[in-house]
Amino acid sequence: MLLLQFDWNPVSGIDIIGNFKLHFYSVMWIIAFLLGWYIMKWIFKREKVNQDYLDPLFLYTVIATLLGARLGHVIFYQSELITQDFFSIFLPFRFKPEFEFTGFQGLASHGAAIGIIIGMYLYRRKYKYKSLMWILDRVVITVASGAIFIRLGNFINSEIIGKVTNSPLGVRFIQEEYTKREAMQLTGLQTPKEAYNAIANNPQFQNLLDAVPYRHPAQLYESFAYVFVFLILWYIYTKTTKSEQTGFLFGLFLVLLWTIRFFVEFVKEAQVDERSTWFLNTGQWLSIPFIILGLYFMLAYKPKNTVK
């Protein structure tokens, strides 16, 4: 059973030049968006929708997702950035305490969900070929597929980590336990990569490795669960008549995804230390309204007309 426990000290990206690095987390986002584009293209073809509407939909989705996710993170988890490092909110750089290219970091899924809904509303106002609910019922299929890769990106980044556990399935997140500066100071090595590798592999620093606790790989729990969310939505859309019920797929997506998120949060560390003593954490409180909204669209929503 101990074979299920392992140390996590990955290369987080590919160095390009200077402080610029292609983060694998960013690559996961790119994969998520491209996969979503291909799925939606297949849906458009299946339902004989003009393909000219596809690229604008993709553009609206990308902008709405990233903007919503970033603003959601700042509002819900890191509001101090507004006064301490304002430009880092909108740019892929950190300016304090030192300048660094960070890529896509500090993104909140609840903010992304709100952003997508608003983005689809704005898209529908300009392109009136289908109803807003028709669009949302299908876009959520692509969002479910993308969520799988976003959580894999979080795992690669050693972020949104789980609580300490004694269970057979545990991961030691070395890069989360020690900051780059701490790792270099404790090992006496000159670069973060050398320092982290020494902690992970050099018996001389076994005490530093032993100090890293095993934690729930909460990111992998979510990613694995989202595979089933996508498969369930895909099956209902392609194999059942429930997909013809306006709002049902959208509602089912909200219920499934945010219920999973709600329960996985029990094994996650609080993202804001001051809220660690809350009965429910921030992610759980934010998930509840989405679940209720999903139940409404599944069970009670009646479109004003049946024209799709």
CA nearest to 78, candidates 46, 117, 105: 105
Stretch 170-197: mean pLDDT, rounded? 92
Where helices occur in 157-266 by DSSP H, the ranges are 174-177, 180-187, 192-201, 206-210, 218-239, 248-264
- Which residues have CB under 8 Å from 190's CB, separation 6+? 184
C-alpha to C-alpha distance for 191 and 23, rounded to whole angstroms: 18
Q: What is the mean pLDDT of the chain?
A: 89
Tokens matching residue 131? 């109803």
Please state, for a pLDDT cut of 70, what percent of the chain lies above it: 92
Tokens matching residue 191? 């670069």
Give how far the C-alpha of residue 78 lies from the chain's centroid of Cα atoms, to the nearest Å: 16
- Predicted confidence (pLDDT) per residue in 201-253, tens digit: 999 999 999 999 999 999 999 999 999 999 999 999 999 999 999 999 999 99
pLDDT value of residue 103: 60
Comparing 119 with 102, the larger pLDDT belongs to: 119
Given the structure tokens 């976003």, which residue do they identify? Answer: 150
pLDDT value of residue 308: 43
Stretch 24-40: mean pLDDT, rounded? 94
Q: Determine how many CB atoms are found less than 10 A away from the CB of residue 17.
A: 7
- Which residues have CB under 8 Å from 103's CB, separation 6+? 13, 21, 22, 23, 25, 26, 92
Confidence of residue 102 (pLDDT cuts 50, 70, 90): low
Find the helix packing angle between 54-76 and 109-126, rounded to 10°: 140
Tokens matching residue 49? 């929708």
Tell me if residue 80 falls in helix, strand or coil: coil
C-alpha to C-alpha distance for 102 and 93, rounded to whole angstroms: 5
Is the pLDDT score of 142 beyond 90?
yes
pTM here is 0.88
pLDDT value of residue 279: 79
Confidence of residue 306 (pLDDT cuts 50, 70, 90): very low
C-alpha to C-alpha distance for 232 and 238, rounded to whole angstroms: 10
**What spatial distance separates the first Cα and last Cα of the chain, rounded to whole Å?**
53
